């Protein structure tokens, strides 16, 4: 998914050169606790949407959750390539 790589690059750019008015820059500035709070909030919203069988809401909340997870990974300096490598390791025990 090319878009995930694009988002990863934007997060890395904002980490190195914060941009005024950028949501990503503000999350990175507020730090890990704020990012984790957003992940928890989005995970809860995804659970509720799923339990309510709201397909469009599930897609929307899953997107929000993945976005905030990408922000956390960027904050921690963890690349999508590292995540992909871990998936590959798990695919072949």
How distant, in Å, are the alpha carbons of 19, 73, 89 from that of 68? 18, 9, 24
Predicted confidence at residue 77, as pLDDT, reads: 96
Predicted confidence at residue 93, as pLDDT, reads: 62
pLDDT tens digits, the chain, 93 residues: what are they? 799 999 999 999 999 999 999 999 999 999 999 999 999 999 999 999 999 999 999 999 999 999 999 999 999 999 999 999 999 999 876
pTM, full prediction: 0.93
Strand, helix or coil at 16?
A: helix
């Amino acid at each position: 998914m090319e878009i995930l790589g694009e988002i990863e690059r934007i997060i890395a750019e904002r980490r190195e050169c914060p941009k005024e008015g950028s949501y990503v820059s503000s999350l990175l500035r507020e730090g890990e606790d704020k990012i984790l709070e957003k992940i928890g909030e989005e995970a809860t919203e995804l659970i509720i949407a799923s339990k309510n069988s709201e397909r469009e809401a599930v897609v929307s909340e899953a997107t929000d959750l993945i976005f905030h997870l990408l922000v956390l990974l960027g904050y921690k300096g963890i690349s999508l390539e590292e995540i992909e490598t871990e998936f590959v390791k798990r695919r072949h025990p």
